[in-house]
Amino acid sequence: GQNIDQPTEMTATEGAIVQINCTYQTSGFNGLFWYQQHAGEAPTFLSYNVLDGLEEKGRFSSFLSRSKGYSYLLLKELQMKDSASYLCAVRERGGGNKLTFGTGTQLKVEL
Tell me the C-alpha distance between 34 and 62, whole Å.
8
Binding another protein by CB under 8 A: which of 16, 50, 54, 80? 50
Identify which of residues 78 and 89 has a Cβ nearer to another protein in the complex.
89
Binding window for another protein (CB under 8 A); candidates: 14-22, 41-49, 56-64, 70-78: 41-49
Binding another protein by CB under 8 A: which of 7, 10, 29, 31? 31
Assess 77 for contact with another protein (CB under 8 A).
Answer: no
> Nearest CA to 104 among 85, 91, 90?
85
Binding another protein by CB under 8 A: which of 44, 77, 79, 80? 44
Tell me whether strands 105-110 and 9-13 are parallel, antiparallel or unpaired. parallel
> Nearest CA to 5 among 98, 91, 66, 90?
90
> Nearest CA to 10 among 100, 82, 65?
82
Residues that bind another protein (CB under 8 A): 31, 33, 35, 41-45, 48, 50-51, 87, 89, 91, 96-104
